[in-house]
Structure 1
Amino acid sequence: MAKIAFLGLGVMGFPMAGHLAAAGHEVTVYNRTAAKAGSWVARHGGRAAATPREAAAGQAFVFACVGNDDDLRAVTLGAEGAFAGMADGALFVDHTTASAIVARELAAAAGGRFGVLDAPVSGGQAGAEAGRLTVMVGGGAADFERARPVIGAYGANISHIGPAGAGQLAKMVNQICIAGVVQGLAEGLAFAQAAGLDPAAVIGAISKGAAQSWQMENRWKAMVAGEFEFGFAVDWMRKDLGICLEQAKETGARLPVTALVDQFYADVQAMGGRRWDTSSLIARLGPTK
């Protein structure tokens, strides 16, 4: 069992840190809103720290799961950042979906004094709560092997992709693929309804063939019902797709469908769906027959 700090107790970080405590680790938490950290301690035990530096002091592992690049820099760098408190030989593991640029920046900032892994996750809030996340990891192989059994408290599929930044790049691939699949599913369901077909019958037929996907299995009913008050928010998806599109500019990769779906999500935001699940792409297609 290890001494661990966990920075960021949002819809993902709160249950992830809880799984670490349930596994028997000694967990200290930090959250920008202190009341959230207090709620976590009341439920799981452990200790709350006033700053990231305080949380990280003396810990073997420091985990983070915050909002974006700037949030990540805020909890790691500077006089009160976690890096200022981390001991030599410790390991920092970042589960934020962020840019490969900031992942490499943090690895460089560690200066070899401690290890740094970029380890974004997929599976959403449900996966975090169930402890069944997919984790894509960039960084040193030895650091990965050291962290893997600890990440296993909430990670069901944990893969080392490559050096610093590779985990974030893999997460970009994940989001690119999801964007296209959800848009295709939205159009397919809207077409079925407009054609007067029973969506349940159609899904029952095609979900056993080449069209099958996680999105189809888990989201078609909510899409047909127009129920989106749950899941991975459109605001978050647009943040992620923005990272993908910026990275594509640097690498010269062409992402025409991703760019188009990103604009479709902008339409959903304009409809008031900023916090709707990403499956809400179907809402912008309008009423069907």
Structure 2
Amino acid sequence: MASSENPKLAFLGLGVMGAPMAGHLAKGGADVKVYNRTGSKADAWVKDHGGESAATPREAAEGADVVLACVGNDNDLFSLCTGPDGAFAGMKEGSLFVDHTTVSARVTRDLAARAKEAGIGYVDAPVSGGQAGAENGQLSVMCGGTPEDYARAESVAAPYSKICRRLGDVGAGQLAKMSNQIAIAGLVQGLSEAIAFAERAGLDGEALVEVISQGAAGSWQMVNRHKTMLADEFDHGFAVDWMRKDLAICLDAARELDASLPVTALVDQFYSDVQAMDGGRWDTSSLVKRLRR
């Protein structure tokens, strides 16, 4: 068995986030077995990073001390974990499952309960920072789980984390990620309106942002997205389709909690407008484009 200092790992899901995250683990010297629904991606990852690939989640998880996942949505995660070929079927008692996917609190609670029945620890650990954050090892990781399980997850995730924090028991990580997406939605809409207003007023957008980014209006979105927004380019970062998936999770949770999210609901509809403009794969800063019509 691998030591606690160098656990045997499995990473499930090698998309734009998962592939570089798993790569950081391999670069750090970890023993990593990978799985991806499209097997050719797993084979290509192994060619670049070493380790080995598996044909099923169960095969990848067998013998692993910690299994990490980063996939698309609730259904993807549920099918990855459950069933005869699912990860849980291959995991040993005392191992840990760390979910980096942004999913609903409902599926998180369901899977955590199934893991507990099998003697498996569970930490929901969604991330923020986008593809660039994954590639540069600068992700913010929001976690829910027992203190003991969190300590193990924090140690494993260190190679791709800028900050990693436990927010509470299982489910708290997903609730924190919802808060993150709620904040982003309002920020991007505000930035979009400011840029569109400045353009209508005949101001130099670059000069404007240089000034206001140094004051109270400054934000990560302003610093990192204003150039492409001004250039009407939206192929940089998190896609509108995925943002709408996340905002649907936020709005569902708000209904359960009797929480009011009027701005989030409005921005979600604005993203629907962007999808209607065939912008589902544009990045989230494309909200400005609907204001230029």
Q: TM-score, normalised by structure 2?
A: 0.97
Alignment of 1:1-289 (within 5 A): 1-111=6-116, 113-287=119-293
Instruction: Tell me the CA shift for residue 105 of structure 1.
Output: 1.0
Runs of at least 4 residues of structure 1 off by over 4 A? none
C-alpha separation between the residues in 2 aligned to 1:147 and 1:215?
28
C-alpha separation between the residues in 1 aligned to 2:170 and 2:112?
7
C-alpha separation between the residues in 2 aligned to 1:230 and 1:35?
25
SS of 1:208's equivalent in the other structure is coil
C-alpha separation between the residues in 1 aligned to 2:113 and 2:61?
18
Instruction: Tell me the CA shift for residue 214 of structure 1.
Output: 0.2
2:38 alignment partner AA:
T
C-alpha separation between the residues in 2 aligned to 1:49 and 1:80?
11
User: Deviations 1:55-93 (Å, cap 9, x if unpaired)?
Assistant: 000000000000001100011011110001000100000
Q: Percent identity between the aligned chains?
A: 64
Instruction: Tell me the CA shift for residue 275 of structure 1.
Output: 0.6
SS of 1:152's equivalent in the other structure is helix
C-alpha separation between the residues in 2 aligned to 1:45 and 1:201?
47
Query: Do the aligned residues in 1 keep the contact of 2:116 with 2:122 (CA within 8 Å)?
Result: no
Instruction: Tell me the CA shift for residue 229 of structure 1.
Output: 1.5
SS of 2:159's equivalent in the other structure is coil
User: Deviations 1:164-202 (Å, cap 9, x if unpaired)?
Assistant: 100000000000000000000000000011011111121
RMSD over aligned CA atoms reads 0.8
1:108 alignment partner AA:
A
Q: Which runs of 5+ in 2 are unaligned?
A: 1-5
Aligned residues: 287
Instruction: Tell me the CA shift for residue 101 of structure 1.
Output: 1.3
C-alpha separation between the residues in 2 aligned to 1:156 and 1:202?
30
Deviation larger for 277-286 or 200-209: 200-209
User: Deviations 1:83-111 (Å, cap 9, x if unpaired)?
Assistant: 01000100000000001111111110012
User: Deviations 1:101-154 (Å, cap 9, x if unpaired)?
Assistant: 111111100125010000000000000000000000001111111221210010
1:122 alignment partner AA:
S
SS of 1:273's equivalent in the other structure is coil
C-alpha separation between the residues in 1 aligned to 2:263 and 2:167?
25
C-alpha separation between the residues in 2 aligned to 1:205 and 1:64?
41
Deviation larger for 193-202 or 33-42: 193-202
SS of 1:160's equivalent in the other structure is strand
Instruction: Tell me the CA shift for residue 242 of structure 1.
Output: 0.5
